[in-house]
Amino acid sequence: MEVRTRFAPSPTGYMHLGNLRSALYTYLFAKANGGKFILRIEDTDQARFVPGAVDVIYRTLKSIGMQWDEGPDIGGDYGPYVQSERKNMYLPYAEQLVKAGKAYYCFCTEEELAARREEAAKRGETFKYDKHCLHLSPEEVQRRIAAGEPYVIRQNVPEHGEASFDDVLYGHIAVDCADLDDMILIKADGMPTYNFANVIDDHTMGITHVMRGNEYLSSTPKYNLLYDAFGWKKPVYIHMTPIMRDATHKLSKRDGDAYFEDYLNKGYLKEAIVNYVALLGWNPGDEREFFTMDELIKAFSVDGMSKSPAIFDVNKLTWMNAEYVRRLTPEQFTAYALPYYEKAGVSAEHADLLARILQQRTEVFTQIPEMLDFIPRLPDYDVELFTNKKSKTNPEIAKHVLEIAIAALDALPAWEEQPIHDTLLGLAEKEGMKNGTMLWPVRIALAGKQVTPGGAIEIAILLGREESMRRLKVGLEKLS
């Protein structure tokens, strides 16, 4: 049997990390088993439709290399793959259930239902549809339909007994039928409800394994009653644990840090995000932590999926991202860093040098403008910065250092790393100073701060001759 899985997002917003992980595990499961990964857009709930959300889904899946085998844009043998384009497919299935006594027409109006709901509330009960219309005679049903009365079609849930299913991760899940509502399958406008369309689509698309968030765990017994009513083979169910913000709260859309694209904007690499998300709820059974998509496909198995929720730890993600940044080639690093150089107001003229001083210390790319903040503008600094025990400097020594450095650098024919390096270190040797005693004051004068990526020489190159000489003189003036 060929494995067929699907990712079935509702286009109601941006791509949440939880959705991303559902998609990822579904994809990995299909690929690890030589099967098909199908993309289906579940847009029955037009009121919640967010324009642009479908594009975000396409863009996200594509950008991380999760290409679907069948889907809205590429078609396939089971199309269409957008529920709104399948809208005429569902009614005949509901009618089939009516004929079998597993569903029925319901003419109760909103007002009638509201009144009954209110009565139930008065009695302190939760309202459950009371099967009022189940008992209408076939003749009356036909007459009312013919008269053009609006109706819905409801599932006829048995009054007693149990509805259940077996989940690969959660085991046997059973609910008492008495607790289940006769849910609406077809709405008054002829459109299917989300619950009904989901079941019909999974069956008619030949889905063998349904993988999705555990918020559907409690609805699945109800779905299975429909499979039974049709006499269809049920898919294998694998419900996934949620991603948590902390021990008691789900990572929710309201947290403001739950979306894939937010992390891209925060300077994380998509490969690192995917790698990290893959490990939130799955482990390879060994110590490995770094995976490409191909490696994930090879390593993935349901046995490694966790039954307890994973807590999202942004520090761990940041650590992992830093590892990914370090593994980039300098050229790749530059490609990612360019927009941040621009934001920092730093020219990319010395991109190789920038990569050399930044790559090892960049955890996320958004840190770059702050690391380079001293380049476009010399910060206002205090002469106390010239004091450094380890480098054996203080303002007095610094004054001397800057004097001789200015004279020597001024005389340099070319403003390049090697001659600047040789000049400064030559001066240190001549003066019988530690290199640090020479370089510290120069770096402070050039950068106006103590912590900088790169040292005095690299900073001098980034600033250029003119600006470097100006800043050295500013430093000397401060010390005079």
Neighbours of 387 (CB within 10 A): 17
Using the rule CB under 6 A, give the single segment among 7-15, 84-92, 117-125, 304-312 that binds ligand GLU: 7-15
Nearer to ligand GLU, 209 or 443 (CB): 209
Pairing assessment for the beta strands 243-244 and 103-106 based on DSSP bridges:
unpaired
307 Cα distance to chain centroid: 21
Which is nearest to 283 in space by CA: 311, 302, 269, 260? 302
> Binding string to ligand GLU for residues 207 to 246, with x set by CB under 6 A, is what?
-----x---x------------------------------
Of 31, 131, 253, 266, the catalytic one is 253
Amino acid symbol at 311: I
Output the smallest distance, CB 272 to ligand GLU, in A.
Answer: 25
Residue 18 lies near ligand GLU (rule: CB under 6 A): no
Cα–Cα distance for residue pair 213/195, rounded to 1 Å = 15
**For tokens 């509702």, what's the residue?**
10
Nearer to ligand GLU, 8 or 280 (CB): 8
Strand pairing partners for 71? 75
Cα–Cα distance for residue pair 180/250, rounded to 1 Å = 26
Answer yes or no: 253 catalytic. Answer: yes
> Binding string to ligand GLU for residues 177 to 206, with x set by CB under 6 A, is what?
---------------------x--------
Which is nearest to 321 in space by CA: 275, 370, 379? 275
Residues in binding contact with ligand GLU, number by CB under 6 A: 7
158 Cα distance to chain centroid: 41
Using the rule CB under 6 A, give the single segment among 3-11, 56-64, 160-168, 272-280 that binds ligand GLU: 3-11
Output the smallest distance, CB 10 to ligand GLU, in A.
Answer: 4
Residue 8 lies near ligand GLU (rule: CB under 6 A): yes
Output the smallest distance, CB 241 to ligand GLU, in A.
Answer: 15
Residue 83 lies near ligand GLU (rule: CB under 6 A): no
Task: Decide if 312 contacts 320 (C-beta within 8 A).
Answer: no
Pairing assessment for the beta strands 152-155 and 184-186 based on DSSP bridges:
antiparallel
> Binding string to ligand GLU for residues 23 to 42, with x set by CB under 6 A, is what?
-------------------x
CA distances (Å), origin 236, targets 1, 202, 205, 277, 434:
13, 11, 14, 23, 71
Using the rule CB under 6 A, give the single segment among 2-10, 109-117, 119-127, 338-346 that binds ligand GLU: 2-10
Looking at the annotation, which residues are catalytic? Answer: 253
Question: For binding to ligand GLU (CB under 6 A), which residues are involved?
Answer: 8-10, 42, 198, 212, 216
